[in-house]
Amino acid sequence: MTISARIGVLFLAAGLLLSALIASIALALEATVELNKAQTKRFVSYQLADELRHSSDDLTRMVRSYIVTGDRNYYHHFNRIQEIRDGSTRLPQNYSRIYWNFVTDNQPVDRNGAPSISLIDKMKQAEFRPSELSLLAQAKRESDALIRIEDQAMLLMDKFTTQQARDPSSTDLRLREEAINLVFNSAYHQAKSRIMRPIQLFYESVDKRTLEAVEAAQQKQKHYFSLSALLIAIMACFSVFAFFHLRRQLTLPLSELLKWVEGLENSRFDLRKASERKDEFGRLENAFIKMAGKINTKIAALQDMAGKDSLTGAASLRRGRDFFELCARAAERSGGRIAIVFLDFNDFKPINDHYGHAAGDHVLITSVKRLQNALRINDLVCRIGGDEFIVIMPDITVGTPPDQMIDKVQQTLTQPVAIDGQIVDVSVSCGIAIYPEQARKLDQLIAVADKAMYAQKNQRLKAPAGAFKH
């Protein structure tokens, strides 16, 4: 077979695979649309059932409010809710299920919204199953039956208010008591329960049905996406096969270069020359080796710039310098202040000598964690070296006393640390410098704070850091 024929066959196969992939992706997108429709239908179904429940609760609230207060606004709201549910009036503007929670006593109910659709018609449009419609219809009938009780209670309240308006002294108080009893007695609660029972069954039925529809759509979507992924994998394999088939002499060097690329991806930079070729592949090998070395160097530099102390988790001084520069620029614009607290652990060497360096490391790690937890989120703890640290505190207010900041650091760090079941006292000496009053450069501020720290270390009386606590 000629090269042209081979290329023709390969391109024909690639075209067929590409066509199959496009068709598979189109079917996957169609399945996604079906999934969205199923989820929307599931949501709408819940909304309709919830609307029936909400309307029943709103009617109950309005009738009870009217019976208790005698305010005719609640009576009108009651009738308005019925009209909206039956689709016989226009909706208020911005109507929602919590609309009636925002209507005040003296606020008129507007009728400038869209025409309402009866709840039954909405349910039919949602294409519920006959059994589900039957449950909702049952809930609607029970709700209508409850409305008749509520109408009876409101009629009694109307008689009461009419009598009271004519002659308060001869008003029959039993009318109001009977009206209140109608909407608060056990029969009323049982009637409400009869409304909610079919609604609960409807919820369960719709949940099961719509969940099955959603899961079916998800399965279909997953199937086509898996098919697309498979076709992509086949096309990738086919491309590799075609390449090696047409350029057989490049198989070994390209395979080795691919391993190198995978090694770089997995952070393996110790590449070894695979051949002594002097051609383009030899130069390419040398270029890869140099590139890997440069990448390794850059990564090491970036890790250092990331500035995290490998032992304590505190920031490095280099990172502290970058952070201070950012804070200083912000302080220049806003007129803010920055505090630099220099701290040094007292009698730290005896801890290392008595318990070992691992114990000393444990003290440093524990203390840094405590300090980071106690400070503000925008404060930065930096390790200078050994047991010396600085804390950069930006945005310090003028009214904040420096002694208060030092006390906070010392109180945080002057806490015992458990080492191998024994309690060891820890204490620190601190000094503070304020930007820009005392200096404007970080090194100068560190020197001022360091001097203040040594002054405190020489003056204060402290307990030995390695003493046991009994």
Q: What helix, strand, coil percent values describe the chain, rounded to 5?
A: 70, 10, 25
- In a shared domain, residues 376 and 432: yes
| CATH code, 324 | 3.30.70.270
Higher pLDDT residue, 122 or 232?
A: 232
- Could you give the C-alpha distances from 148 to 151, 182, 317, 354, in angstroms and in order? 5, 11, 79, 88
In a domain, 133, yes or no: yes
Q: How many CA atoms lie within 13 A of 202 on its CB side?
A: 29
Owner of token pair 């620190």: 428
Point out the domain boundary residue: 194, 218, 242: 218
- Could you give the C-alpha distances from 15 to 19, 38, 289, in angstroms and in order? 6, 35, 38
pLDDT given at position 381: 95
First to last CA, the chain: 92
- In a shared domain, residues 11 and 142: yes
CA dist., res. 370 & res. 91, Å (int)? 60
Domain extent at residue 128:
3-218
- In a shared domain, residues 373 and 394: yes
- In a shared domain, residues 107 and 165: yes
| CATH code, 292 | 1.10.8
CA dist., res. 15 & res. 317, Å (int)? 59
Confidence grade of residue 139 (pLDDT, cut at 50, 70, 90): confident
Task: Average the pLDDT over 354-361 and give the result.
Answer: 88
Per the CB < 8 A criterion, the answer to whether 462 and 427 are in contact is yes
What mean pLDDT value characterizes the chain?
81
In a domain, 238, yes or no: no
Structure tokens that stand for 176 in this block: 């109001």
Higher pLDDT residue, 351 or 268?
A: 351
The top-scoring range by mean pLDDT among 50-64, 257-271, 289-303, 428-442 is 428-442
Q: Is the pLDDT of residue 469 over 60?
A: no
Task: Average the pLDDT over 446-451 and give the result.
Answer: 96
Rg of the chain, C-alpha, whole Å: 40
- In a shared domain, residues 67 and 93: yes
DSSP tag of 310 = T
pLDDT given at position 388: 94
Q: Is the pLDDT of residue 470 over 50?
A: no
pTM: 0.39
- In a shared domain, residues 279 and 185: no
pLDDT per residue over 276-313, tens digit each?
666 666 677 777 777 777 777 776 565 555 678 888 98
Q: Is the pLDDT of residue 337 over 90?
A: yes
The top-scoring range by mean pLDDT among 141-150, 188-197, 406-415, 438-447 is 438-447
The top-scoring range by mean pLDDT among 31-45, 82-96, 428-442 is 428-442
pLDDT given at position 327: 94
Structure tokens that stand for 84 in this block: 């909206």
Structure tokens that stand for 179 in this block: 């009206």
Q: Is the pLDDT of residue 451 over 90?
A: yes
CA dist., res. 258 & res. 274, Å (int)? 12
pLDDT given at position 23: 86
Confidence grade of residue 166 (pLDDT, cut at 50, 70, 90): confident
235-239, 320-324, 446-450: which range is least confident on average? Answer: 235-239
Alpha helices in 247-316 (DSSP H): 251-265, 280-306
CA dist., res. 227 & res. 97, Å (int)? 44
Residues shown for the chain? 470
Q: Is the pLDDT of residue 155 over 60?
A: yes
Phi-psi map region of 396: left, alpha, beta (phi>0 left; psi -120 to 50 alpha): beta
In a domain, 235, yes or no: no
pLDDT given at position 300: 59
pLDDT given at position 269: 62
- In a shared domain, residues 153 and 283: no
In a domain, 466, yes or no: no
Confidence grade of residue 114 (pLDDT, cut at 50, 70, 90): low
Number of domains in the chain: 3
Percent of the chain past pLDDT 90, that is, above it, reads 20
Per the CB < 8 A criterion, the answer to whether 35 and 181 are in contact is no
- In a shared domain, residues 331 and 296: no
Per the CB < 8 A criterion, the answer to whether 173 and 156 are in contact is no
The top-scoring range by mean pLDDT among 30-44, 265-279, 360-374 is 360-374
pLDDT per residue over 23-71, tens digit each?
888 888 887 887 787 778 778 777 777 777 778 788 888 888 888 888 8
In a domain, 470, yes or no: no
pLDDT given at position 254: 65
Closest CA to 180 of 144, 214, 156: 156
In a domain, 224, yes or no: no
Point out the domain boundary residue: 218, 241, 276: 218
3-state secondary structure of 434: strand
